[in-house]
Structure 1
Amino acid sequence: MSFRPMTYIRKKAIPSLIATLLIPQAAFAFSPFVIKDIQVTGLESTEPSMVFSYMPVQVGNTFTEEQASDLIRRLYATGLFNDVKINTANNIVQVNVVERPLITSITFEGMRAFDNKAITTALSQVGFGTGRALDPALLDRATTEIRQQYVVKGHYGVDVTSTLTPLPNNRVGISFTVDEGVSSRIKDINIVGNKAFSESELLDELSLTTPGFMTWYTGTHKYSREKLEQDTETIKGFYLDRGYLDFNMEPPQVTISPNREDISINMTISEGEPYTLRKVQLAGDLLDLNTELESMLIQKPGEVFNASKARETVAAIKNRLGELGYAFATVTPNPVTIPGTTEADLTFFVDPGKRVYVRRIDIGGNVRTRDKVIRREMRQQEAAWYDAAQLTTSQERIDRLGYFNEVQVNQAPVAGTDDQVDIIVDVKEKPTGMINLGVGYGSTDKLSFNGGISQENIFGSGTDLGLQVNTSKRNRAAVITHTDPYWTSSGISRTTSLYYRIDRPYNSNVDQDEDNYRTRSIGLGMNFGVPISENDRIFMGLTFENNKIELPSADSGYIIPKAYRDFVDIYGESTNTFLFNLGWAKDTRDSALAPSKGYYTSLMATAGVGDLKYYMLSAQQQYYLPLGKDYTLAFNLGADYGRSLDSKKPFPVIKNLYAGGIGSVRGYEGASLGPRDLVSGDYLGGSTRVIANLQLYLPFPGTQNDRTLRWFVFADAGKVSVSGKTACTNGNANNGGLVEKPCDWRYSAGVGLSWQSPLGPLQISYARPISAKPGDNKESFQFQIGTAF
């Protein structure tokens, strides 16, 4: 071969392999030479060291034709260059490149079905994102990926286009314009092959539905491939829970209309026959826990096989072994049918693995929150045997702090050992500071406003500080609180509060200035909570309170409640009182907003000393009983009993309790139960109160068991009365009228709706009083809503 003074090797915007194959070998044929120098030009954002790292040779090495081809292939494979040119002259290798633009921004227009973060994450999984070089092939792949994401959600008519905007310094911005089109709706769902169960019964199990009364809210009539796959598994689980071990289901057939708006789904199933268990047994290494583990077998011989109960058994055995340190135990259920019969033997194969202990607990993801705030919630200890129950409790306690959007607790084997694990606690912090403004409306308090500023986990210390202000027709309050959940290392909490409150008596009978009399209270208190178990807590505290009643003069012409004038005559306009409280609470509910199981129990005693001498005993019991997955029966019973500690003075009227309306006995006007004033007819409340509620929650039609929207039927009972020598007054014939037996029981029943709406919690009820007494103020339709913005 003859040596050329200068040789050009160039190929533009094609894959490296094709580039190498298409370049004629004669075009860069040269005699090998010893490299004197290597020069790289054309770089803008790429570091020269990166290009040199792909060099198959260095200065002083011999450069050949094969190495030139290899260099071209390597540089194109990086995806960073549109053009690569190699020059050789005077034993110098010159590498000239043209970089692809760098993607510095990705925006989306017209996209409503997804948030930007979800799509950006999906694109990163296919290698497309900011900070990467613009590869036309990857751009096409990104466009296809966005379209595919929409198809999964049923948007078959989606159109996605991309626009490139050149920017200085060889950069580019990419904008994806999305025309979502119409989301395909499910026209019909057909199930073929079912004999034991009706089609309507099976359709009720599906999350996907045809258009119905509430599907505008739930969106379940919109096709989704993911939901269809879930529904397929749901149908399989439905049959396996009823013993159909031979059940088989073909892949669903999805048919799309020509206009891509309507979808038909056809499911073909083969049921088989239900199998009864002939024998249920354990096998494997039972660790001499035969009797204990056998007691965890939920199903018994003679029962129909149930896959859900088999999974419950697996979970129970694994949890028990996990409590003993067997972190990686496996339990495998194996139902075996008996040929020629409809019987099956169910065997659970147990492999506990090796017992392990926890070497170290690592906490990550906490940027602001101090490690000790998280670590003190851990019930699993380092250098102790692994305990699955303690880890579950630890995760629940960390989650209940309210400082994190996500809490994950995982274990990782320690390399080089078979009896150690590390516990990895990963948290994702959420903003814990909040400024809120709100407006609400209730049947009794009418329009109300509230606002506040709070900071949970202040300075990452795990303590909370807040200011709350609210006002309504009857009440105004401003409260400052500070809570330290770990005032002591043993978990005793301390809450300090300062409040200012104005209360106006309930007056709906006299048309006059509502500001003519009121009670103003200022208080400073400190309360402590002492944990005695994971679900039990004892409360105790002391509050100093100053109360002042502001009444117009006797000759002002205002109609003032006799009970309040009597209070001023006995106790004076201003009183100072120390309030001692002691209580206990136990909470096992699965949710505070929409519980479906568990119970809540509380007992509380409050005693006042000083100008107001009295005591109040309170008790409450709530119980939630799940009736299958769709229904919940709720019970509530509350009782309060108050009495004066001074036999010569009545119970202070400003400490009275009220009932009636939402939250107590529906169907009666708010706060209307109990005694009424002899002069003004105002609702006075009483020193004793009993409330009982029975409520059955049912799924709202068309919402597919959405627990944020439920309707219910209920029955209420309650009474408000007085204690000691205080008379149960029944009002004034001219102001509000007289009520018969105001301190007797009142009953009601009705239906209602509860909804965690975008505007806030909404509750609507329609109740009919039962055996109401003459003079009762009834209010059949009642509602309450709050909102934040």
Structure 2
Amino acid sequence: MKKQIKRFRVRTVSAMVAMAFVANAWAVDPFTVRDIRVEGLQRVEPGTIFASLPFRIGDLYNDEKGSAAIRALFGLGLFKDVRLEVSGDVLVVIVEERPTVADVDFVGAKEFDKDALKKALREIGLTEGRPYDQGLADRAEQELKRQYINKSLYGAEVVTTVTPIERNRVNLTFTVTEGEPARIKEIRIVGNKAFSESTLRGLFDLDTGGMLSWYTKSDRYSRAKLNADLEALRSYYLSRGFLEFRVDSTQVAISPNKQDISITVNVTEGERYVVSSVKLEGNYLGKDDEFKSLVTIRPGEPYNADHVAQTTKAFTDYFGNFGYAFANVEARPEIDRVNNRVSFVLLAEPSRRAYVRRINISGNNRTRDEVLRREFRQFESSWYDGDKIKLSRDRIDRLGYFKEVTVETSDVAGAPDQVDLNINVVEKPTGSLQLGAGFSSAEKLALSFSIKQENVFGSGNYLGVDVNTSKYNRTIVFNSVNPYFTPDGISRTIDLYHRASKPYEDQGGNYELATTGAGLRFGIPFSELDTVYFGGSVERTQIKPGTNIPAAYLAYANRFGYTSTALPLTIGWSRDDRDSTIAPSSGRMQRLGAEVGVAGDARYVRSNYQFQQYVPLNKQFTLAFNGELGWGKGLGDRPFPVFKNFYSGGLGSVRGFDQGTLGPRDVTGATIGGPRKITMNAEIIAPFPGAGNDRTLRMFGFVDAGNVFGENERLQFGDLRASVGVGLSWISPVGPLRLAAAHPIRKFAGDRIQRLQFQIGTSF
């Protein structure tokens, strides 16, 4: 009877401890534990229980240790109930395990990928095979609602259903009713006087929608986008003299049905200030004149925050070139509110000169360290040089192997004149396998296959195979590039290729030109932007006769044979500082190449020069120019090979004319191209209406001029064809697409007109 009472009292105490984790007034007399038994286990190993208990067999048990044991077992998160019972000097641990999650599913979730949602839940511990935790389920539900709010789906509802199944398991189902996204119906800017409300709203990426809102989603509210738009608004005012401009408040109101959003921005413009003077104070290392040349703040002009920021950054960077990594430059404004003028004092303190002790690289799990280190222009144990560090960062970024490249500077403990550079990279997939089809107005259906690896085994080398089956150009190409064939950066390129082409409209003919060859090319970097290429190749070109073959081809084949071998040597130069290769808005690109046939059946020289310039007019509009010159000539007593002729007309040259149909024709009326070519293009590029400032979808107006000339023809500008038109540029998932509608403004009899043209993967 005494033993039963003791057991009842401990059971009561243990239940209360389990609820409150504190000792109760009920107590058990201390005793020595002779044995410990565990009851209620299904999946948890007994060792997990024993390892968590604060006592062992042979230890003295008391109420304090019992409370600690219950807290420890609950802390494991594996049990929903824990009790301790005493039977004589035997301690019995009774547990009830939490159910295990058997499956997690999402019903009605269309805005997010289910696998991505499951991965997110797995990261917080809510996944198959783990104990079910109601707290985690509630947290997941709230996070899911928050993500829908970020997508402007304010009416989204999430219901969590827990379904018990056999063997103490549960199925977890999140049922989502997404509803319609809330859309911005009104954007108001209050307090503006100097600029119209429509002008200021035009700075925003957020808008009230247009015919392309389904693509841009610009009418869906996002706090991050609104903050970016407010910064654009602030920058607009601060760059136009409004030194004391401020955004007082923003109100975002949602309608009762959670479908319409109104945004109101309250601003205070302040007065417009003009810069009266700029003075330098502090230590400028005796190079005051050099620093003065970096000042972009101009007295007599309206205050411009961009110029102030550019000047202080230029000063800091210039100090960095001399090793002063910790230079402090402050632009102090002195405001004259009576006359609306402001003067600036540029105060500089270079602090101490620093060396770079170590360069640490992290995040390159696949790419070898040497691939990154060979791009560095800042070296260890050398003076800290801001220009070289930035250049090193840019060179690593241009490799194309990383989604993100950041450089951080950290002090060295105990060494005030030393710093470490920490380079952090985030790798991205560098291989691609593509199977696809394309269609253009000139080449109809084209099937393609390619396998490319830009970073083979993390070595930085490129390997690629391309196959194309278009109507006019069939290719099989193998490329291998070693960008550091030598330690000082000379690249080596190996090409193996077979190209079969019909470079103009043949009116049903079945002849073609087939070229098979192999080439070896080296690239020598002469500066950070300039590279010179030279190499050679062996080619075999065959003129395959067929119906409607041009007389010029027959004449060349009858004189020199239907098969020609050549040993062309190539030399070239390139410089490219555009801000993007796909959708550039600033910068310049130049390319010059020459090919000389020095041996074999074909003896010739063929050269080509291309120039592109992009001029940003403002945030939205870009002016672009393109020019291309081609020139070829036969060597010795041989004419220029007809299969090396240039062609013009269509996308990539003069739009509005049929692809490759400009220039000389033979007696059959077929276009045969020529050894001289000139092309000039001008475009003004703007965002597509309704697409906001999205650079992936843009429209453009253009003017084109150009032609191809025969070897004995005079190059006269009066013979150039010209056209004007408008077009659409879209960086689509399958590549850059350009659609052009052109109207020839200078044409001649016999020219083949094609007013609507499109193609994927072309420029200009």
Q: Same fold (TM over 0.5)?
A: yes
2:638 aligned residue (649, 656, 661)? 649
Q: After TM superposition, give the deviation of residue 572 of structure 1 in Å.
A: 0.9
Question: Structure 1 residues 127, 669: CA separation in 2 closer, same or farther (over 3 Å shift)?
Answer: same
Which of 705, 711, 723 pairs up with 2:693? Answer: 705
Change (3 A) 1:80 1:390: farther
CA distance in 2, matches of 1:394, 1:58: 61
Counterpart of 1:722 in structure 2 is: 710
CA contact (8 A) 1:673 1:743 kept: no
Partner of 1:496: 494
Name the residue aligned to 1:371.
369
What is the Cα deviation at residue 743 of structure 1?
9.3
1:549 aligns with 2:549: no
Report the more deviating stretch, 123-132 or 662-671. 123-132
Residue pair 1:152, 1:226 contacting (<8 A) in 2 also: no
Report the AA paired with residue 615 of structure 1.
Answer: V
Is residue 2:650 matched to residue 1:661?
yes
SS across alignment from 1:250: strand
Specify the code of the residue in structure 1 equivalent to 2:597.
G
Equivalent in the alignment of 1:767: 742
C-alpha displacement of 1:779:
1.9
Instruction: Using the aligned pairs only, state the percent identity.
Output: 44
CA distance, structure 2, for counterparts of residue 142 and residue 261 of structure 1? 25
Measure the CA separation in 1 of the matches of 2:685 and 2:455: 36
The residue correspondences of 1:463-502 to structure 2 (distance < 5 A) are 463-502=461-500
Q: Structure 2 counterpart of 1:484, which letter?
A: N
Matched, 1:585 2:586: no
Aligned partner letter, 1:523:
G
Contact 2:620/2:687, CA 8 A, preserved across alignment: yes
CA contact (8 A) 2:10 2:27 kept: no
Distance 1:522-1:13 versus aligned 2 partners, 3 A rule: farther
Report Cα offsets for 1:108-162 as digits up to 9, x if no partner: 3433334457656876887766786432123212211211222233211101122
**Residues 505 and 683, structure 1, Cα contact 8 Å, conserved in 2:** no
**Are the aligned partners of 2:433 and 2:450 in contact in 1 as well (CA < 8 Å)?**
yes
In 1, Cα distance between equivalents of 2:15 and 2:497? 72
* CA distance in structure 2 between the aligned counterparts of 1:659 and 1:559, rounded to whole angstroms: 20
Could you give the per-residue CA deviations for residues 477-530 of structure 1, whole angstroms, max 9, x where no partner exists? 11111111111111111111111122235244x4x4x32x22221111111111
Residue aligned with 1:301, SS: coil
Larger mean Cα displacement after TM superposition, 91-100 or 628-637: 91-100
Q: Could you tell me how far 1:785 is from its partner in structure 2? A: 3.3
What TM-score results when the alignment is normalised by the length of structure 2? Answer: 0.91
Verify the 8 A CA contact 1:12 1:82 in the aligned structure 2.
no
Contact 2:158 2:177 in 1 (8 A): yes
Instruction: Report SS of the residue matched to 1:618.
Output: strand
The DSSP-based 3-state class of the residue aligned with 2:416 is coil
- The question of whether the paired residues in 2 share the 8 Å contact of 1:716 and 1:747 is answered with yes
Residues 18 and 83 in structure 2, CA contact (< 8 A), matched pair in contact too = no
Q: Contact between 1:13 and 1:82, CA under 8 Å: does it hold in 2?
A: no
Any conservation in 2 of the 1:536–1:584 contact (CA below 8 Å)? Answer: yes
Counterpart Cα distance in 2 of 1:124 and 1:13: 33
1:18 offset after TM fit, Å?
5.5
Q: Is the 8 A contact 1:35 1:58 kept in 2?
A: yes
Structure-to-structure mapping, 1:258-657, within 5 angstroms = 258-283=256-281, 286-504=284-502, 506-508=504-506, 510=507, 512=508, 514-515=509-510, 517-552=511-546, 558-609=547-598, 610-646=600-636, 648-657=637-646
The answer (yes or no) to whether the contact 1:247–1:272 under 8 Å persists in 2 is yes
- Contact persistence 1:632–1:698 (CA under 8 A): yes
**Does the aligned pair in 2 maintain the 1:720–1:743 contact within 8 Å?**
no
Matched with 1:756 is 731
What TM-score comes out, normalization by structure 1 length? 0.88
Is the deviation greater in 320-329 or in 495-504? 320-329
* Coordinate RMSD, CA, aligned: 3.2
Query: Aligned equivalents of 1:337 and 1:541: distance in 2?
Result: 63
Which sits farther off after the overlay, 749-758 or 429-438? 429-438
- Specify the alignment match of 2:180 in structure 1: 182
Structure 1 residues 440 and 493, CA gap change in structure 2 (3 angstroms) = same
Aligned-partner Cα distance in 1 for 2:704–2:14: 81
- Contact conserved, 2:588 with 2:613, CA < 8 A, in 1? yes
1:598 to partner: Cα distance: 0.9
Deviation for aligned residue 1:656: 0.6
Aligned to 1:219: 217
**Who is 2:754 aligned against?**
779
Q: Per-residue displacement from partner, 1:239-268 (whole Å, max 9, x unpaired)? A: 222232333333322222222111112222
Q: How many residues align?
A: 758
Contact 1:80 1:100 in 2 (8 A): yes
CA deviation map 1:385-420 (0-9, x unaligned): 333332332232223223333333333434444343
Q: Which moved more, 1:101-110 or 1:203-212?
A: 101-110
| Separation in structure 1 between the aligned mates of residue 644 and residue 97 of structure 2, nearest angstrom | 79
1:341, distance to aligned residue in structure 2 (A): 4.5
Q: CA deviation at 1:688?
A: 0.6
Q: Secondary structure at the match of 2:186?
A: strand
Judging changes above 3 Å, is the alpha-carbon distance between structure 1 residues 548 and 97 closer, same or farther for their aligned structure 2 residues? same
CA distance in 2, matches of 1:187, 1:655: 59
Equivalent position of 1:691 in the other structure: 679
Deviation, 1:542, is 0.6
AA partner of residue 19 (structure 1): A
Q: What are the within-5 Å matches in structure 2 for residues 195-274 of structure 1?
A: 195-274=193-272
What stretches of structure 1 of length at least 5 have no aligned partner?
A: 553-557, 730-740
CA 1:422 to 1:165, structure 2 compared with 1: closer, same or farther past 3 Å?
farther
